[in-house]
């Protein structure tokens, strides 16, 4: 492919309900990768959300916002969402003439992107995250999901776990590309500037701090960390737990801490600014998200583990889902059965009671994050895939 052809291959239309400033790892993934792939030649059709206008002004890509309200009186209630994504995508596609069309998820974006790809005669790439495959079980949604995946030119799987799920759905293995999300190593890195945040919690240098970051959802395993605190304290560790995130389990987690007698050790920090979040990683001794599968809902990858690793902090992760791609057991952290409090407890004790071991795992994690998961490397892998599908179409 000529240099001109390579540059043209980066022109794309991305259909994704999730995009910054919407919270979440998927929104970060797309904003970080596509900003590195090009400028206004990359068109993002996404949801209109609070603070979107200010964000779009500083983002290099061309962002098209659409109201994605659902109407309960419609059957299906998501019909308006599909129509609006399709119509805006068609208008943008006819004007921009992208080299490829990308869908941030299989539904609704994948079906919309498939229709656009057929009309515009462009190759289709769909991202697969894992959770959608294990949780979307209604027959109609399942059939639509399989149809979209099978009709994509390529499907990007975020982990080996997700790749195996796709193969189980009948997706041809040669059409699956393994590209994991990444981390901004210029933002998340080792440092000493977390001391002031520890002081906010009243912690001295000798006290130990466990950190968790994520939606307050049962499958994340934050309740298991709370359950482990009494034993860690009884064994002589002066330990505190900082939890950053919001979600449906907020009251449950606070109540559990009261029940376990560790309420003064739990620090619920809700949202944190983009400036403070990396400093919280640097302030902590150990990162913990001992995830588990609940009702088919599981962790497809876990970008927060990469943020912790880049900050040179070891992680405690669960065995469920695709976290094995983000945390290498015994090398960058410890993976345990997230359903077993004793296992979570033992892993936390190992890392908190042995700073030398914890520092070793943290350093190995930081090196791996720099070498394999910097956003620049993810962007290069994505561009290579875009060039491949453009050549083959």
Successive 10-residue mean pLDDT values, the chain, 393 residues = 59 97 93 96 96 96 92 70 94 97 96 97 97 89 96 97 97 97 97 91 93 96 98 97 96 98 97 94 98 91 97 97 96 98 98 97 98 96 94 73
171: phi then psi, degrees, rounded to nearest 5: -75, 135
**Tell me, what's the pLDDT at 7?**
67
CA distances from 366 to 4, 28, 66, 178, 373 (A): 36, 20, 38, 21, 10
Q: Is residue 114 part of a domain?
A: yes
pTM over 0.85: yes
Residue 171's closest CA among 117, 112, 110?
A: 110
Residues with Cβ within 8 Å of 174's Cβ and at least 6 positions away in sequence, in order, are none
The domain that holds 218 is classified in CATH as 3.40.50.2000
**Tell me, what's the pLDDT at 137?**
81
**Tell me, what's the pLDDT at 2?**
45
Residues with Cβ within 8 Å of 335's Cβ and at least 6 positions away in sequence, in order, are 316, 317, 318, 319, 323, 324, 327, 329
Q: Based on the fold, state whether residues 284 and 388 are members of the same structural domain.
A: no
Number of domains in the chain: 2
Q: Based on the fold, state whether residues 363 and 217 are members of the same structural domain.
A: yes
Burial of 16 (0-12, 13-18, 19+ CB in 10 A): buried
Q: Based on the fold, state whether residues 160 and 119 are members of the same structural domain.
A: yes
DSSP codes, 303-346: HHHHHHHHTT--EEEESSTTGGGT--BTTTEEEE-TT-HHHHHH
Q: Based on the fold, state whether residues 70 and 38 are members of the same structural domain.
A: yes
Q: Is residue 132 part of a domain?
A: yes
- Give the structural domain span for 380: 3-182+374-392
Return the ∠ at Cα 313 (arms to 257 and 336), rounded to 5°.
60
Q: Based on the fold, state whether residues 162 and 239 are members of the same structural domain.
A: no
- Distance, in Å, from the CA atom of 145 to the CA atom of 143, rounded to the nearest integer, reads 5
Q: Based on the fold, state whether residues 140 and 270 are members of the same structural domain.
A: no
Q: Based on the fold, state whether residues 101 and 208 are members of the same structural domain.
A: no
**Tell me, what's the pLDDT at 250?**
97
Q: Is residue 58 part of a domain?
A: yes
DSSP codes, 67-96: -----TTSSSTTHHHHHHHHHHHHHHHHHH
Q: Is residue 348 part of a domain?
A: yes
With contact defined as beta carbons under 8 Å apart, do 323 and 299 qualify? yes
Residue 377's closest CA among 308, 306, 286?
A: 306
**Tell me, what's the pLDDT at 392?**
74
Q: Based on the fold, state whether residues 91 and 224 are members of the same structural domain.
A: no
Q: Based on the fold, state whether residues 299 and 167 are members of the same structural domain.
A: no
**Tell me, what's the pLDDT at 393?**
66
Helix or strand (DSSP H, E) at 101: strand 100-103
Helix or strand (DSSP H, E) at 157: strand 154-157
**Tell me, what's the pLDDT at 221?**
98
Q: Is residue 164 part of a domain?
A: yes
Q: Is residue 189 part of a domain?
A: no
Place of tokens 């790749």: 163
Give me 314's structure tokens.
Answer: 């070891």
Q: Is residue 190 part of a domain?
A: no
Q: Based on the fold, state whether residues 326 and 264 are members of the same structural domain.
A: yes
Q: Is residue 317 part of a domain?
A: yes
Q: Based on the fold, state whether residues 334 and 323 are members of the same structural domain.
A: yes
Q: Based on the fold, state whether residues 148 and 263 are members of the same structural domain.
A: no
**Tell me, what's the pLDDT at 215?**
94
Helix or strand (DSSP H, E) at 29: helix 25-37
């Amino acid at each position: 492919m000529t240099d001109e052809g390579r540059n043209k291959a980066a022109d794309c239309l991305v259909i994704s309900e999730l995009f910054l400033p919407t919270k979440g790892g998927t929104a970060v993934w797309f904003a970080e990768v596509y900003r590195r792939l090009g400028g206004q030649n990359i068109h993002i059709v996404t949801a209109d959300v609070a603070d979107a206008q200010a964000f779009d002004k500083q983002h290099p890509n061309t962002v098209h916002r659409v109201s994605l309200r659902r109407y309960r009186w419609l059957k299906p209630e998501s019909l308006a969402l599909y129509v609006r994504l399709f119509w805006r995508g068609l208008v943008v596609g006819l004007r921009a003439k992208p080299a490829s069309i990308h869908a941030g998820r299989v539904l609704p974006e994948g079906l919309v992107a498939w229709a656009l790809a057929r009309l515009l005669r462009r190759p289709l790439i769909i991202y697969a995250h894992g959770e959608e495959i294990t949780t979307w079980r209604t027959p109609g949604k399942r059939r639509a999901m399989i149809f979209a995946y099978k009709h994509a030119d390529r499907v990007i799987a975020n982990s080996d776990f997700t790749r195996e799920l796709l193969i189980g759905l009948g997706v041809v293995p040669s059409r699956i590309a393994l590209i994991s999300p990444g981390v901004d190593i210029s933002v998340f890195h080792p440092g000493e500037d977390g001391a002031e945040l520890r002081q906010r919690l009243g912690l001295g240098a000798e006290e130990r701090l466990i950190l968790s970051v994520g939606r307050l959802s049962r499958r994340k395993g934050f309740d298991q960390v709370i359950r482990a605190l009494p034993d860690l304290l009884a064994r002589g560790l002066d330990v505190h737990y900082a939890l950053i995130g919001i979600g449906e389990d907020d009251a449950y987690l606070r109540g559990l801490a009261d029940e376990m007698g560790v309420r003064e050790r739990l620090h619920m920090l809700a949202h944190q600014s983009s400036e403070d979040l990396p400093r919280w990683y640097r302030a902590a001794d150990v990162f913990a998200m001992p995830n588990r599968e609940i009702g088919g809902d599981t962790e497809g990858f876990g970008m927060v583990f990469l943020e912790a690793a880049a900050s040179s902090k070891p992680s405690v992760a669960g065995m469920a889902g695709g976290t094995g791609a983000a945390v290498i057991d015994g090398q960058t952290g410890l993976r345990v059965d997230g359903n077993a409090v004793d296992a979570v407890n033992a892993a936390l004790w190992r890392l908190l009671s042995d700073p030398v071991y914890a520092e070793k795992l943290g350093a190995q994690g930081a090196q791996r994050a720099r070498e394999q998961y910097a956003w620049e490397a993810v962007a290069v892998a994505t561009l290579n895939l875009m060039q491949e599908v453009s050549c083959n179409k």
